[in-house]
Structure 1
Amino acid sequence: MASGRIIKLVVFELLELAAFSIPTLVIMEQFATAYQRTRGSLDKTHYWLIVSCSIAYVASVTLLIWVPIKVLLHKKHHLYKKITGWRPVLLMCVILTTLPSFSFSIAVTEVQKNVNGSTVDLLPDSLPDLPVSLVILSLILVDIIEKVRIYPLRGSQKRSEDAYIHTSSLQQIKTVTDQVSKKEENPALSQAGKTTSEAQPQSRIDTVTGPQEPFFHSGILRTMSQRDVRGDLFLWSFLLWSDTIEMVRVAGHPAVYKSGWLYPVYLFSFISLLRIIFTPQNPLLGTLGILLQDLPFVFVRLSLIIVLGTITPILGLCKNVLVTVSFVYFNYLTKLRPFSSFETSPF
């Protein structure tokens, strides 16, 4: 009987393969249907030609790129350990699946705008949301699988909060022990250190405090307060891309996909997805989030609001502006002399 580890590996690989191949097939079929409508004939030769080309493309990249790299990563562990800061699986998905899918999503609207050189278009009143949502959903699914792969799927996982409390307690105990040892070794030095501490400004000694977090030991409240890092991965993986999902949704508005605004919307949405290539704990991820998503989205959303009205939420624009300004202020401006003084709130 196959072990749980083998079953987990097979299920994960099949899910990733489905997420890698299905979006391209769906988008290409949508493009084939749209192109067939522009022909105005019952002959489906062009339809089946486009569908067969999409199948050939997916089969080629799967057999020539996806499978060899997957086998190499599983067999050559020393090579996998040398990969730092980025994830090759997500890179393949972004380049080989997301990029062609977004390109043919634009082509679906372009082939229906001008039929046989006339100004009559066959565009529907609203674009179907399923194909583009499927592309982003597949990308998020691969991201979740790559994150949850290192965790066991059975058994309870120790909460990160408990680990943090345990680590903090050990650090506090160690600090107190060191202070007691130093006092016992040299009382004169201890007295000098006390005098120096009293001479320091009170603002440097105070620590930032806030409302105390509750902790429940038993009862229904303890059951309701259960949190597992594996479940949180699913939540935060979707919340992380909510801004990009909202931007792609704007592309389905008639005023956008029937005009040239469709190109910048899809372009900057794809650029924002490039962050998924990097590892979740990459130190550059915060800066990349500003440069690849929030800052470009400020200009795109502001331009859309000025030209087309509030087809994109004002809340999204405020979010991008506040995130960008706060990141620059707290990471860079606070290092300058006028903003470098440390102060704490009395509450």
Structure 2
Amino acid sequence: MASGKIIKLVVFELLEFAAFSIPTLVIMEQFATAKQRTGSEKTHYWLIVSCSIAYVAVVSLLIWVPVKVVLYKKRHLYKKIIGWRPVLVMCVVLSTLPSFSFSIAVTEVQKNINGSANLLPESLPDLPVSLVLLSLIVVDIIEKLRHYPLRGSQKGYEDSDICITSLQQIKTVTEQVVQNDGNPSTAQASKPPAMSQPRNHVAVLVGPLEPSFESRILRMMSQRDVRAELFLRSFLVWSDTVEMLRVAGHQAVYKSGWVYPVYIFSFISLLRMVFTPKNPLLNSLGILMQDLPFVFLRLSLIIALGTITPVLGLCKNILVTVSYIYFNYVTRLRPFSAFETSPF
């Protein structure tokens, strides 16, 4: 009987391959259908469908499968890959990019149906775009979930990091007290760093106390597992890109030239998937690849076409960009460098 690890590997690989191949086939079939509506022969439809199947087959056999085999067999090579994920690179470049390209081609073909743009629907179907993003998110979740067991309880790595960071901060403050007072024994016998008031003290940030429950039902409801949170976080991170691509299906956007910058900047924002979740550059890349470009894109769309994109999304992009710049760079300047603690 196959072991749990083998079953897990097979299921994950089948899901990833389905997420890699299905979006391209669906978008290409949609393009073939739109092309046929313009009066093309039935042969053209089957030619496009055949080309899409051939593309997926060739890419899978020449790139996807060899890379997967190398990553599985040569573990020492896999450990040398630092900061980025090759599986997501293949999905973004070989699946998402062609899908977005043919999605734009579908809109251009539909504009020429019956020679009139007035016959276009009010909005394009959401299924193809949602399928592309869902496939990327599924691959992202699987690549994160590989490092966790699927059975038994598992403490999240994030919780461990928080505990270690807190202990390191307390240790650092204690060492600061020792250096300032010049008497280690006195410092060790003194109150905790958060309560002491040494010269040139460094304040320890203490947040509000979290509740602890005695009730059995509330204890069950308060359970947290990082494996379940992976699904929530993976979808929430890309909600801004999903909303932007939804705007691309609006009639005022896809009938004009605005559809091109919307798809281009949305694809650029998806490039962040290539990097590992804990890459130190990920926050900066999120600002440069998503929030900052979306500020100008959303502002331009609102000025040119009205509020077809939510103002809340624009406010989110502005606040995230400004807060990142302020807390990471402006607070390092002398007028803003004084450390303050909240009175509460």
Provide the TM-score with structure 2 as the length reference: 0.90
Aligned residue type for 2:54: A
Partner secondary structure for residue 97 of structure 1: helix
Aligned residue type for 1:54: S
Equivalent runs, 1:155-304 vs 2, <5 Å: 155-159=152-156, 163=160, 167=164, 200=199, 204-304=201-301
Query: What is the rounded CA distance, in whole Å, between the counterparts of 2:147 and 2:252 in structure 1?
Result: 45
* Kept after mapping to 2: 8 A contact 1:268/1:296: yes
Q: Alpha-carbon deviations, 1:167-193, whole Å to 9, x = none?
A: 5787699789999xx8xxx99665699
Q: Alpha-carbon deviations, 1:114-171, whole Å to 9, x = none?
A: 358x455653232110011000000000000000001000111125586468657876
Equivalent runs, 1:65-214 vs 2, <5 Å: 65-115=63-113, 118-120=115-117, 123-159=120-156, 163=160, 167=164, 200=199, 204-214=201-211
Query: What is the rounded CA distance, in whole Å, between the counterparts of 1:143 and 1:105 in structure 2?
Result: 22
In structure 2, the CA distance between the partners of 1:52 and 1:176, relative to structure 1 (3 Å rule), is closer
Compare 55-64 and 168-177 and name the one that shifted more: 168-177
Aligned residue type for 1:311: I
Partner of 1:48: 46
RMSD: 2.9
Unpaired runs of at least 5, structure 2? 191-195
Residue-pair matches, total: 337
Query: What is the rounded CA distance, in whole Å, between the counterparts of 1:191 and 1:227 in structure 2?
Result: 40
* Kept after mapping to 2: 8 A contact 1:109/1:123: no
Aligned residue type for 2:211: P
Partner of 1:313: 310
In structure 2, the CA distance between the partners of 1:13 and 1:223, relative to structure 1 (3 Å rule), is same
Query: What is the rounded CA distance, in whole Å, between the counterparts of 1:222 and 1:243 in structure 2?
Result: 34
Q: CA deviation at 1:215?
A: 2.1
Query: What is the rounded CA distance, in whole Å, between the counterparts of 1:88 and 1:28 in structure 2?
Result: 25
Q: Do residues 29 (structure 1) and 37 (structure 2) align?
A: no
Partner secondary structure for residue 47 of structure 1: helix
In structure 2, the CA distance between the partners of 1:56 and 1:220, relative to structure 1 (3 Å rule), is same
Q: Alpha-carbon deviations, 1:314-339, whole Å to 9, x = none?
A: 10000000000000000011111111
Compare 43-52 and 318-327 and name the one that shifted more: 43-52
Aligned residue type for 1:302: L
Partner secondary structure for residue 138 of structure 1: helix
Equivalent runs, 1:8-23 vs 2, <5 Å: 8-23=8-23
* Kept after mapping to 1: 8 A contact 2:173/2:202: no
In structure 2, the CA distance between the partners of 1:175 and 1:80, relative to structure 1 (3 Å rule), is closer
Q: CA deviation at 1:218?
A: 4.5
Query: What is the rounded CA distance, in whole Å, between the counterparts of 1:172 and 1:102 in structure 2?
Result: 46
Unpaired runs of at least 5, structure 1? none
Partner secondary structure for residue 343 of structure 2: coil
Query: What is the rounded CA distance, in whole Å, between the counterparts of 2:296 and 2:169 in structure 1?
Result: 47
In structure 2, the CA distance between the partners of 1:288 and 1:171, relative to structure 1 (3 Å rule), is closer
Query: What is the rounded CA distance, in whole Å, between the counterparts of 1:187 and 1:124 in structure 2?
Result: 77
Q: CA deviation at 1:200?
A: 2.2
Q: Alpha-carbon deviations, 1:45-104, whole Å to 9, x = none?
A: 111010000000000000000000000000001110100000000000000000000000
Q: Alpha-carbon deviations, 1:202-234, whole Å to 9, x = none?
A: xx4433333211122551110000010000000
Query: What is the rounded CA distance, in whole Å, between the counterparts of 2:42 and 2:224 in structure 1?
Result: 54
Query: What is the rounded CA distance, in whole Å, between the counterparts of 1:176 and 1:122 in structure 2?
Result: 69
Partner secondary structure for residue 38 of structure 2: helix
In structure 2, the CA distance between the partners of 1:294 and 1:192, relative to structure 1 (3 Å rule), is closer
In structure 2, the CA distance between the partners of 1:336 and 1:125, relative to structure 1 (3 Å rule), is same
In structure 2, the CA distance between the partners of 1:71 and 1:122, relative to structure 1 (3 Å rule), is farther
Partner of 1:340: 337
> Which entry has the higher C-alpha Rg, 1 or 2?
1
* Kept after mapping to 2: 8 A contact 1:19/1:138: yes
In structure 2, the CA distance between the partners of 1:331 and 1:34, relative to structure 1 (3 Å rule), is same
Provide the TM-score with structure 1 as the length reference: 0.89
Aligned residue type for 1:139: L
* Kept after mapping to 2: 8 A contact 1:268/1:297: yes
Q: Do residues 63 (structure 1) and 65 (structure 2) align?
A: no
